[in-house]
Amino acid sequence: MDVRNDIKVLDATIRDGGLCNNFEFTDEFVKELYKTNVASGVDYMEFGYKASKNMFKESEFGKWKFCNEEDIRAIVGDNPTSMKIAVMADVGRCDYKTDFLPKNESVIDMVRVACYIHQIPAAIEMIEWFHALGYETTCNIMAISQANTEQVNQALSMLAATNVDVIYLVDSYGSLYPENASALAKVYLAAVENTDKKIGFHAHNNQNLAFANTIETLSYGVSFLDATVQGMGRGAGNCAMELLLGFLKNPKYNLYELLKFIEKYMIPLKAQGVVWGYDLQYMFTGLLNRHPREAIDFTGKKRDDYSEFYKSLLENF
Amino acid sequence: MDVRNDIKVLDATIRDGGLCNNFEFTDEFVKELYKTNVASGVDYMEFGYKASKNMFKESEFGKWKFCNEEDIRAIVGDNPTSMKIAVMADVGRCDYKTDFLPKNESVIDMVRVACYIHQIPAAIEMIEWFHALGYETTCNIMAISQANTEQVNQALSMLAATNVDVIYLVDSYGSLYPENASALAKVYLAAVENTDKKIGFHAHNNQNLAFANTIETLSYGVSFLDATVQGMGRGAGNCAMELLLGFLKNPKYNLYELLKFIEKYMIPLKAQGVVWGYDLQYMFTGLLNRHPREAIDFTGKKRDDYSEFYKSLLENF
């Protein structure tokens, strides 16, 4: 019945959910989600990516792929709340030296650096850059289910020596079972013992385990928890915020406010045809520990020949 | 990577899923499911209830509420397979003294006695009756999340002294988190230590944890695992068979055969309007540890005023 005051809940709906609708949320949607997150006690809200405008045309995506300072401010003003604002910067897809203001001129509080494990050196360069600018930083090591133990240990020991604030275990392929997620969480936690660094978990729901894995890693000491409203996120989606807030015992989290948002904004979004969430094709790619791109393609084509699809994945193993 | 040869998978699709469609499956559906279960390596298939014909009119339900011997035989013949046939008998809703043949005249292998914890004495009477007839027996203690520790211990010690073969932990309200499910599983397992009795788990998916709780209890030594195809079952449904077969390492389980059945029979069933599965209203009743009847009513009325519904549950706590 204890309250864990170290827990921080991060809403990644606009960022991971943006992968489902090309980041084309209305301003009203984002503004109401911001108000809802504040009222629900959410600790961080991620607004989207800071993607390179040299690599990606602004005209081809919604604005939350780029998170211009003025676009965030149009939603949050000076953000006169205790909720912090995060953005994500992908290694190799972000002009980080030109696209970030010093923290004292920005409404952004935290920059989350996403990388694959072989990109750790590049991630560290970015982390130190953002740290020098004054931001809180995270390193989100993606696709961790495909990394071997030696790589993981090396990456963690390199990160432990940096100024990064939070290291995230990211189950991009939704491939981890709770026993795997907790074993990895223990390795991450051990790597930052005796430091101020925290460990985070970002789940995908391919095997319908996003919520279960999140509360499993939480029970071992992971404290930064990503969730999205109704699990909205790429492919099978993420840990659902409503399940997580229902589980957490801290009275600062308020489920009721979130339900009003779901009714008014998420149900219409689904009705418009934006698709995400657990389905068999995602279970297959999770089970086989591979990228969901083929499953996303299967979904986009509205196929339902599951057995043929499964067979084709086995043949291309 | 080990194979647990003690694991037995039980398909409860017709029985728990029958609660979603009044047990009105076509013979073709049941026959193809039977063949699929055999081909997929499923260990037991539950055909339905043996409900009292004095209490329930046969004309008002599909035949699987009653599981007449000849109806099962019309599907399985003499069941010339290694898969066993189970039926469920509810305490207080079954004319068990008249409606069961001796095992050597029946194609049924196992009778599962379902009861609430205060009905244990009545359940034991039935279990001994079925045992004397020659059947394998289970005791499925429902709504365990509402029983207190003392009740659970007393029930288990009474059952340990009987001829029951398997005692089932049943999370009827989908209210258990993995930590609760595993704590209870340990109590059940300890109660049958030094006996030949086995422990089973039957999950509901109200908080999207049916699969997670199943594999969690499995890891502690629970060996009888209930699942249904695509989780078909009352309200939020059950642990999905496809997730469970994907997880189990024993090569005797075959996912591909199940996928063909899903394509051909489950997708049309859903298209006909048979409804089950995780949704917010079931999460609320799971979270509040109560019977899903109000959530089922909410679903039936196609309501989507989730926040009002949640508020009304809090007011009637």
pLDDT tens figures, A150-173: 999 999 999 999 999 999 999 999
Two structure tokens written together for A263: 């009714």
* A 202-221: CB under 8 A from B: 207-209, 211-213, 215-216, 219
Nearest CA among B48, B34, B121, B137 for reference residue B77:
B34
Does residue A1 form part of some domain? no
Residues A218-228 have pLDDT tens digits of 999 999 999 99
What is the distance between the alpha carbons of residues A36 and A76, in angstroms, rounded to a whole number? Answer: 12
Distance from the Cα of A15 to chain B's closest Cα (Å) equals: 23
CA separation for the pair B238, A243 (Å, rounded): 17
User: Six-digit token pair at B120?
Assistant: 């244990």
The predicted structure's pLDDT at residue B316: 79
Using alpha carbons, select from A34, A8, A57, A39 the residue that is nearest to residue A201. Answer: A8
Q: Across all residues in chain B, what is the average pLDDT?
A: 97
On whether any CB of chain A is under 8 Å from the CB of B120, the answer is no
Report whether A302 contacts A190 (CB < 8 A): no
Closest CA to B286 of B244, B240, B236: B236
Shared domain for A93 and A240, answered yes or no, is yes
Evaluate whether residue B54 is within a structural domain.
Answer: yes
B168 touches chain A (CB under 8 A): no
CA-to-CA separations, A24 to A20, A46, A56, A231, A260, in angstroms, rounded: 9, 15, 15, 17, 21
CB within 8 A of B199, min separation 6: which ones? B166, B167, B168, B169, B185, B188, B189, B192, B217, B221, B222, B223, B224
Query: Is B124 inside a domain boundary?
Result: yes
Residue among A140, A264, A259 at smallest CA distance from A199: A140
Q: Which residue in A has a C-alpha nearest to residue B216's C-alpha?
A: A178
The model carries a pTM of 0.96
pLDDT band at A1 (very low <50, low <70, confident <90, very high): low
Residue A135 shares a structural domain with residue A12: yes
Q: CB A208 to CB B207 under 8 A?
A: no
A122-127: long-range contacts, CB 8 A cutoff, minimum separation 24: A122/A91, A122/A92, A123/A91, A124/A158, A124/A159, A124/A162, A124/A164, A126/A89, A126/A91, A126/A94, A126/A96, A127/A162, A127/A163, A127/A164
Q: How many interchain CB pairs under 8 A, A with B?
A: 83
Interchain pair B256, A208: CB under 8 A: no
Interface test with B, best of A173, A208, A262 (most B CBs within 10 A): A208
For residues A190-205, average pLDDT? 97
Q: What is the CATH number of the domain that holds B133?
A: 3.20.20.70
Task: Answer yes or no: is pLDDT of A316 > 90.
Answer: no
| Domain presence at residue B3 | no
Q: Is the pLDDT of residue B86 over 90?
A: yes
Helix/strand number for chain B, H first, E second: 13, 8
Answer yes or no: is pLDDT of B1 > 90.
Answer: no
In DSSP terms, B224 is beta-bridged to B8, B200
Closest CA to B292 of B142, B151, B184, B148: B142
Asked if the structure places residue B2 within a domain, the reply is no
Can you tell me which residue has the tokens 């409804």?
B275
Tell me if chain B has a CB within 8 Å of the CB of A242.
yes
Contacts B177 to A, Cβ<8 Å: 215, 247
Closest approach of chain A CAs to the CA of B221, in angstroms? 15
Whether residues A123 and A28 fall in one domain: yes
pLDDT higher than threshold 80 for residue A131: yes
Q: Which residue in B212, B240, B267 is closest to A304 by CB distance?
A: B267
Tokens for A275?
């698709």
Nearest CB to A310 within list B256, B283, B287: B256
The answer to whether B267 faces chain A, any CB pair under 8 Å, is: yes
If you average pLDDT over residues B295-301, what whole number do you get?
A: 96
| A209 and A284 share one domain | no
User: Model confidence at A254, in pLDDT bands (50, 70, 90)?
Assistant: very high
Per-residue pLDDT of B104-145, as tens digits, reads: 999 999 999 999 999 999 999 999 999 999 999 999 999 999
User: Are residues B210 and B295 both part of a single domain?
Assistant: no
CA B6 to chain A, closest CA, distance in angstroms equals 20
Q: Does B77 lie in the same domain as B108? A: yes
Q: Are residues B293 and B244 in the same domain?
A: no
Answer whether B259 sits within 8 Å of A310, measured CB to CB. yes
Q: pLDDT tens-digit profile of B55-85?
A: 999 999 999 999 999 999 999 999 999 999 9
Is the Cβ pair A263, B306 closer than 8 Å? yes
Q: What distance in Å separates residue B305's CA from the closest CA in chain A?
A: 7
pLDDT band with cut points at 50, 70 and 90 for residue B22? very high
Is residue A3, in this structure, part of any structural domain at all?
A: no
HEC profile of A40-68: HCCCEEEEEECCCCCCCCHHHCCHHHCCC
CA B258 to chain centre: 18
Asked if the Cβ–Cβ distance from A307 to B246 is below 8 Å, we say: no
Question: Same structural domain for residues A264 and A285?
Answer: no
Total number of domains constituting chain B: 2
CA quadruple A314, B1, B3, B6: dihedral sign: negative
Chain A environment of B262 (Cβ under 8 Å)? 280, 306-307
pLDDT above 90: percentage of residues in chain B:
98
Q: Cβ contacts (< 8 Å) between B305 and chain A: which residues?
A: 263
B159 and B105, same structural domain?
A: yes
Which residues constitute the domain of residue B132? 8-271
Would residue A2 count as lying in a domain?
no
Looking at the DSSP bridge assignments, the partners of residue B250 are none
Are residues B305 and A219, on separate chains, in Cβ contact within 8 Å? Answer: no
Contacts of A151 (CB under 8 A, 6+ apart): A117, A118
On chain A, the residues whose CB falls within 8 A of the CB of B216 are: 178
Tokens of B187: 């109590």
How far is A114 from A119, CA to CA, in rounded Å?
9
Q: Does residue A263 sit at the B interface (CB-CB below 8 Å)?
A: yes
Distance CA B59, CA B284 (A): 35
Which residues in chain A are contacts of B311 at CB distance < 8 A? 256
What DSSP state is assigned to residue A114?
A: E
A75 assigned to some structural domain: yes
pLDDT at B256: 96
Those residues whose C-beta lies under 8 Å from the C-beta of residue A107, and which sit 6 or more positions away, are A69, A72, A73, A76, A78, A79, A85
Show residues of chain A in contact with B181, CB under 8 Å. none
Q: Considering Cα of A14, then A226, then B172, then B259, what sign does the dihedral take?
A: positive
Question: Do A49 and A132 sit in the same domain of this protein?
Answer: yes
Q: Is A256–B211 a contact, with Cβ atoms under 8 angstroms apart? A: no
Contact criterion met (CB < 8 Å) for B307 and A260 = yes
Same-domain check for residues B155 and B303: no
Residues of chain A with pLDDT > 70: what percent?
99
Are residue A142 and residue A90 in the same domain, yes or no? yes
Residues of A with Cβ-Cβ distance to B269 under 8 angstroms: none
